[in-house]
A and B are shown apart, each in its own frame.
Chain A
């Protein structure tokens, strides 16, 4: 196989199966095997997307959901990184923090929804709080283990070259833990959308989750399916951005350079 042909296949082959599924779905519904009342055709979902975009409704809800997700993730990731670093670096940090974090981590954070509604009502704070809570733990865990997994020989070498404190952290500890931290980021980004969907479906007056709930009231199945497709696309975009960071920050690691080891 020629390299050019291989690149083309590399690029387009992953889309073949989704495309076939969509075509099969269109055929199933339009040929009457499934009632369009239960499942709209892909074409009518597209049409709903076009209609809501034109009216400005979709961009409005999309933007609100994106803001909630981003803000919640930023807060949660910062807290996870900070606590993970503290307990990864110091004996005191681990003894004081780790078991408490592990206990809280094992509580399904969505179980807190009734309490969160009680504390924050149904406005923005509630959703951002839930997203932050959901995303903090994977980053905490992976930061902690990333720091603990750093080669002790490298630390000894860096110390013998006079590195300590901040310099040791930025030159050795943080880059050494980065592959693990980015695994945590990918996992957290998935949890970010999951948490937001649930939070918006239960209590919201805007956002994609609200759009879906509202459509269900009026039996607009095309809009419901549209929101599901949107979540899939948003999830894929979040994952792509994490992979972009991996390719950028882990260039030194042959495993992330696309296999181009010389």
Chain B
């Protein structure tokens, strides 16, 4: 590995055996947290129906530990359902979910889901929200988690006093304090303004690099997917339509030529058009129409 990539070892497609390698590096760069290897996730023949509608149709997917995978697709393509299945909030009709060759249900405590909305308890102060479900002497840990998301000074405030972006960061701290090995994000930035989203992208990338968890990001924003992910998966009719590795080095510049080209390619797939042949595609059409 060349020196220039030493602090961004997740560039490109990490092979499963690169795991031990990565953890060693993170232990060096982050003395404050105890990194644990991300879950190696395996989905086999996943199917889910709502009435007559097959939302997920015998879907197979393997995600090596520590990978950052973005799942994109049109509304109703089953991407949120997939995330809820992995989080255990929905039940499977058929198929198998496993993490590190054990059933995923044995890994509930290692899995955390962040929702579209922050879902903070309005009657708990910020720090008590972060510590939800913890026992014992959690205060120092909760403060540390808040500091990690840049809200160390907001611990004593009520959620109603925070902005939308700050609330999502509190929700992120609440997920991180459990030291998840698998973090699931369900369009957590959908309701934020453009500048706050950029800040959140940088924060999520930083925390993922530091903590080495596996991260699954569901989003309708292709630009966001290309900006953050090692690998982008397009869901179509309940199956994987496109599985694309993003080999760009980090940190990535938004709207750089490499990012735009990949964005365009994915976008065309999402919109169901044929693949563009080079310069015909406009890199500016970067957002899918939201219904």
The residue of chain B having its C-beta at the shortest distance from the C-beta of A251 within the complex is B158
B89 contacts A by Cβ under 8 Å = yes
CA distance A262 to B161 in the complex (A): 6
CA distance A161 to B158 in the complex (A): 20
B160 and A161 form a contact (CB under 8 A): no
B50 contacts A by Cβ under 8 Å = no
Q: List 18 A-B contacts (CB under 8 A).
A: A154-B119, A156-B89, A156-B119, A158-B133, A160-B89, A161-B133, A163-B132, A167-B133, A171-B121, A172-B121, A175-B123, A175-B124, A176-B123, A250-B123, A252-B160, A253-B160, A261-B161, A262-B161
CA distance A158 to B12 in the complex (A): 36
Q: Which residues from 142 to 169 on chain B have a C-beta closer than 8 Å to any C-beta of chain A? A: 158-161
A157 and B119 form a contact (CB under 8 A): yes
Query: Main SS of the interface on chain A?
Result: helix
B19 contacts A by Cβ under 8 Å = no
Q: Which residues from 135 to 171 on chain A have a C-beta closer than 8 Å to any C-beta of chain B? A: 153-154, 156-158, 160-163, 167, 171
Candidates A154, A160, A167, A251; contact of B121 at CB < 8 Å: A154
A178 and B123 form a contact (CB under 8 A): yes
B161 and A175 form a contact (CB under 8 A): no
CA distance A157 to B133 in the complex (A): 11
Candidates B113, B132, B160; contact of A171 at CB < 8 Å: B132
B119 and A153 form a contact (CB under 8 A): yes
On chain A, which size bracket covers the interface?
20 to 34
The residue of chain A having its C-beta at the shortest distance from the C-beta of B116 within the complex is A153
**Which of B89, B108, B115, B158 has its CB near the most chain A CB atoms (within 10 A)?**
B158
Candidates A157, A161, A163, A252; contact of B123 at CB < 8 Å: A252
Query: Main SS of the interface on chain B?
Result: loop
Tally of A-B residue pairs with Cβ under 8 A? 53
Min CB gap A194→B, angstroms: 32
- Complex contacts, A251 vs chain B, CB 8 Å: 158
A254 contacts B by Cβ under 8 Å = yes
- By a beta-carbon cutoff of 8 Å, the part of chain A in contact with chain B is 153-154, 156-158, 160-163, 167, 171-172, 175-176, 178, 250-254, 261-262
- Complex contacts, B115 vs chain A, CB 8 Å: 153, 157
The residue of chain A having its C-beta at the shortest distance from the C-beta of B171 within the complex is A157
Using a Cβ–Cβ cut-off of 8 Å, how many residues does chain B contribute to the interface with A? 23
- Complex contacts, A157 vs chain B, CB 8 Å: 115, 119
A254 and B109 form a contact (CB under 8 A): no
- Complex contacts, A261 vs chain B, CB 8 Å: 160-161
B117 contacts A by Cβ under 8 Å = yes
CA distance A172 to B120 in the complex (A): 11
CA distance A154 to B158 in the complex (A): 16
The residue of chain B having its C-beta at the shortest distance from the C-beta of A255 within the complex is B160
CA distance A251 to B123 in the complex (A): 8
- Complex contacts, B174 vs chain A, CB 8 Å: 161
- Complex contacts, B89 vs chain A, CB 8 Å: 156, 160
- Complex contacts, A172 vs chain B, CB 8 Å: 121
The residue of chain B having its C-beta at the shortest distance from the C-beta of A174 within the complex is B123
Min CB gap B113→A, angstroms: 6
- Complex contacts, B109 vs chain A, CB 8 Å: 162
The residue of chain A having its C-beta at the shortest distance from the C-beta of B157 within the complex is A262
CA distance A262 to B159 in the complex (A): 11
- Complex contacts, A262 vs chain B, CB 8 Å: 161
Min CB gap B73→A, angstroms: 23
- Complex contacts, A158 vs chain B, CB 8 Å: 121, 132-133
Flag B171-185 by CB within 8 Å of A: 1 or 0 each. Answer: 000100010000000
Candidates A162, A178, A252, A253; contact of B124 at CB < 8 Å: A252
Min CB gap B137→A, angstroms: 18
CA distance A162 to B161 in the complex (A): 26
CA distance A253 to B122 in the complex (A): 7
CA distance A135 to B121 in the complex (A): 30
